[in-house]
C-alpha cells in the first residue's frame, strides 16, 4: 500500500492521530513514505516508534475511503427513515379504510331493528361495499398513473369520509345502501394505489418488508372494525360507530394532506382512455401476468369463499355459531399480523418461491381443519393457520405484480385488486353451490387441494418470465 497504515488501531484512534490539534508525535509506521524519519523501517523492525511524519499522508489516503463508507451508511439510514415515514403517513389511511370496510358487519341487527328491514337484506351492506370496490379498479388505476397516485388517494380518502358520514345520517335503509356503495367505490382508490406508491418509492430489496408492515395496519383495521363496532354499538349506537369511522378517515385525510404539502409535486399528464386500454393490453400480454392475475383471483375465491359459511358449519356440528365464527375470523387477522412480524426472517431463509408453497400448504391444512375439526379450539386455530398461509401467498403475489410494469404500476395493481375482489365475490357463491351439491366437508377439502396446487404452481413460476 502507498499510505502509512497504523497497526491495530480503531477508527477513533486514527482520527485522533490524524487531527493536527492532537499533536501526535509517534506511530507504528514502517513505510518508506516517512522521508523525514531516520530509517523508519529499521526503527520498526527493532520495535521502536518512528516519528509520525507520514500521518498527514495517511489522512489524505484514508479519508476518502472512510468518507465514502460513512456516506453510504448515512444514505442507508436516510433511506430507512424515508421508508418509515412513508409507512407512517399511509398507515392511518390503510387502517381507516379497512375499518370502514368491516364496520357494518356487527351492526346488521341494530340497523335491521331501526329500519324494520330483514337481516338478510341488511347483510347486503357488505356486498354493496365490496362490489363497487372491485368494479372501479380498471378506471382508477390508469387515472392514478396519469394524474398522480398520491393525489388520487387523497381525493378518494376524502370522498370515503364524506360517504361514511352520509351513512351515519341516512334517514332510511335505501340511502344507507347507496352511501355504502359509494363509499366502497371511493375506497377502491386508496389501498391499491397505495401499494403502487410503495412500488414506486421503495427499493425492490425492501419492498416486501415495507408492504408487509403496511398490511399489519390494514389487518388491525379489519379486526378493529368488527371489535369496535361490537363494543361501542350498545354505547353509541350504529350511527355513533359510523361517525367515529368518519372522524378517523378525516384524520387520515389531514395527515396525508400535510405530508403532501412538504413533498415535491407529482408529475401530471392528460388522462387518455385509449392509452389506458393500450396499457392494460400491454400488461396482460406479459407472461407473468398470465400467472399472477388468475392466481390472485383463485386465491380470493378459495380462501374467502369459505368465510360466510363458517357459522353454518359450526352450527351443523354443534361446535358453536356466530361468535365462534367471528373468533376464527379474528384469528385469521392475527395470522396476518404474525406474518408481518416474521416476514424479514422468511425472506432471508426461505425466499419468495418457498413462501408461496408454504402458504399453499398451510391454506390446505386450514381448510381441512375447517372441514374436519372435532372441537371449537381446533376450528379457531385453523383460522390462524389460514391467515398466515394467506398472507404468505398474497403478499408475494402483490410484490410480483408491482414488478410487472414499473411505469404503469397503478394499472397493474388495479388489475390485481379487480381479480382479487372479483374472486372473493364469486367464491362465496361457488362454495354455497358446492356445499348444496356435495356437502361442506368435500367442498372444503377440494378447495384446500386447489389452494395447495396453486401454491406449487406459483412457486415454480420464475419471478420474471
pLDDT of residue 453 exceeding 90, the answer is yes
Instruction: Please tell me whether residues 389 and 350 are part of one structural domain.
Output: yes
Instruction: Please tell me whether residues 292 and 255 are part of one structural domain.
Output: no
Task: Give domain status of residue 268, yes or no.
Answer: no
Mean local confidence (pLDDT), 173-184: 91
Select from 209, 231, 263 the last residue of a domain.
263
Question: 60-98 burial, b for 16+ CB within 10 Å, e for fewer?
Answer: ebbeeeeeeeeeeeeeeeeeeeebeebbebbbbbbbbbb
423 with 301: CB under 8 angstroms? yes
User: CA–CA separation, 178 vs 331, rounded Å?
Assistant: 31
pLDDT digits 0-9 by tens, 239-263: 998 999 999 999 999 988 888 777 7
Task: Give domain status of residue 275, yes or no.
Answer: no
183 with 167: CB under 8 angstroms? yes
- Residue 182 — very low, low, confident or very high, per pLDDT cuts 50/70/90? very high
Instruction: Please tell me whether residues 192 and 295 are part of one structural domain.
Output: no
- How buried is 178 (Cβ within 10 angstroms: 0-12 exposed, 13-18 middle, 19+ buried)? middle
pLDDT of residue 452 exceeding 90, the answer is yes
Q: What is the pLDDT of residue 64?
A: 54
Pick the closest to residue 404 from 394, 395, 415, 393 (CA basis): 415
Instruction: Please tell me whether residues 246 and 313 are part of one structural domain.
Output: no
Residue 299 cell numbers, joined: 386465491
Enclosing H/E stretch for 50: strand 50-51
Q: How many domains does the chain have?
A: 3
Q: What is the pLDDT of residue 145?
A: 77
Q: What is the pLDDT of residue 213?
A: 82
Task: Give domain status of residue 276, yes or no.
Answer: no
Contact residues for 266 (Cβ-Cβ < 8 A; gap 6+): 148, 149, 150, 151
Alpha carbon 391 to its chain centroid, in Å, reads 9
Instruction: Please tell me whether residues 140 and 236 are part of one structural domain.
Output: yes
Task: Give domain status of residue 198, yes or no.
Answer: yes
Domain range enclosing 195? 85-263
Residue 349 cell numbers, joined: 431463509
Q: What is the pLDDT of residue 166?
A: 92
Residue 248 cell numbers, joined: 378517523
Task: Give domain status of residue 4, yes or no.
Answer: no
- Residue 322 — very low, low, confident or very high, per pLDDT cuts 50/70/90? low
The residue whose grid cell reads 377439502 is 445
DSSP per residue over 180-222, as a string?
Answer: HHHHHHHHTTTHHHHHHHHHHHS-HHHHHHHHHHHHHHHHHHH
- Residue 120 — very low, low, confident or very high, per pLDDT cuts 50/70/90? low
- Residue 54 — very low, low, confident or very high, per pLDDT cuts 50/70/90? very low
Instruction: Please tell me whether residues 345 and 457 are part of one structural domain.
Output: yes
Instruction: Please tell me whether residues 323 and 439 are part of one structural domain.
Output: yes
Contact residues for 237 (Cβ-Cβ < 8 A; gap 6+): 110
Task: Give domain status of residue 5, yes or no.
Answer: no
Task: Give domain status of residue 250, yes or no.
Answer: yes
- Residue 124 — very low, low, confident or very high, per pLDDT cuts 50/70/90? confident
CATH of the domain at 99: 1.20.1250.20
Instruction: Please tell me whether residues 255 and 219 are part of one structural domain.
Output: yes
Mean pLDDT of the chain: 78
DSSP per residue over 388-402, as a string?
Answer: HHHHHHHHHHHHHHH
pTM higher than 0.95 = no
pLDDT of residue 16 exceeding 50, the answer is no
Instruction: Please tell me whether residues 251 and 307 are part of one structural domain.
Output: no
Amino acid at each position: 500500500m502507498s499510505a502509512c497504515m497504523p497497526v491495530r488501531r480503531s477508527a477513533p484512534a486514527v482520527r485522533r492521530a490524524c487531527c493536527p490539534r492532537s499533536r501526535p508525535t509517534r506511530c507504528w509506521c514502517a513505510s518508506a513514505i516517512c522521508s523525514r524519519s531516520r530509517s523508519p523501517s529499521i526503527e520498526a523492525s527493532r520495535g521502536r516508534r518512528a516519528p509520525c511524519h507520514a500521518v498527514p499522508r495517511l489522512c489524505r489516503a484514508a479519508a476518502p475511503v472512510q468518507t465514502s463508507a460513512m456516506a453510504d451508511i448515512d444514505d442507508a439510514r436516510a433511506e430507512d427513515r424515508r421508508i418509515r415515514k412513508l409507512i407512517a403517513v399511509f398507515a392511518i389511511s390503510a387502517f381507516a379504510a379497512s375499518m370502514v370496510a368491516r364496520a357494518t358487519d356487527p351492526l346488521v341487527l341494530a340497523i335491521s331493528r331501526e329500519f324494520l328491514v330483514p337481516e338478510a337484506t341488511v347483510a347486503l351492506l357488505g356486498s354493496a361495499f365490496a362490489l363497487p370496490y372491485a368494479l372501479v379498479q380498471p378506471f382508477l388505476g390508469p387515472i392514478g398513473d396519469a394524474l398522480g397516485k398520491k393525489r388520487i388517494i387523497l381525493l378518494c380518502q376524502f370522498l370515503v369520509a364524506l360517504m361514511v358520514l352520509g351513512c351515519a345520517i341516512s334517514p332510511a335503509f335505501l340511502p344507507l345502501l347507496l352511501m355504502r356503495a359509494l363509499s366502497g367505490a371511493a375506497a377502491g382508490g386508496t389501498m391499491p394505489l397505495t401499494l403502487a406508491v410503495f412500488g414506486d418509492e421503495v427499493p425492490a430489496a425492501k419492498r416486501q418488508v415495507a408492504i408487509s408492515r403496511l398490511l399489519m395496519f390494514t389487518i388491525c383495521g379489519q379486526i378493529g372494525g368488527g371489535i369496535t363496532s361490537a363494543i361501542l354499538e350498545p354505547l353509541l349506537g350504529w350511527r355513533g360507530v359510523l361517525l367515529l369511522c368518519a372522524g378517523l378517515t378525516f384524520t387520515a385525510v389531514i395527515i396525508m394532506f400535510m405530508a403532501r404539502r412538504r413533498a415535491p409535486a407529482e408529475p401530471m399528464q392528460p388522462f387518455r382512455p385509449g392509452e389506458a386500454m393500450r396499457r392494460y393490453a400491454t400488461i396482460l400480454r406479459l407472461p407473468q401476468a398470465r400467472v399472477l392475475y388468475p392466481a390472485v383471483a383463485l386465491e380470493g375465491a378459495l380462501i374467502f369463499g369459505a368465510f360466510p359459511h363458517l357459522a353454518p358449519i359450526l352450527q351443523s356440528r354443534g361446535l358453536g355459531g356466530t361468535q365462534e365464527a367471528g373468533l376464527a375470523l379474528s384469528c385469521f387477522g392475527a395470522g396476518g399480523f404474525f406474518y408481518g412480524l416474521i416476514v424479514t426472517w422468511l425472506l432471508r431463509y426461505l425466499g419468495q418461491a418457498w413462501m408461496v408453497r408454504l402458504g399453499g400448504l398451510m391454506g390446505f391444512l386450514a381448510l381441512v381443519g375447517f372441514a374436519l375439526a372435532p372441537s371449537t379450539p381446533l376450528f379457531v386455530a385453523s383460522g390462524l393457520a389460514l391467515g398466515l398461509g394467506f398472507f404468505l401467498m398474497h403478499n408475494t403475489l402483490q410484490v410480483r405484480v408491482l414488478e410487472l410494469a414499473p411505469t404503469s404500476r397503478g394499472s397493474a395493481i388495479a388489475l390485481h385488486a379487480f381479480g382479487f375482489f372479483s374472486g372473493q365475490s364469486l367464491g362465496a357463491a361457488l362454495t354455497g353451490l358446492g356445499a348444496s351439491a356435495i356437502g361442506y366437508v368435500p367442498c372444503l377439502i377440494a378447495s384446500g387441494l386447489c389452494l395447495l396446487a396453486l401454491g406449487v404452481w406459483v412457486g415454480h413460476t420464475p419471478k420474471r418470465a
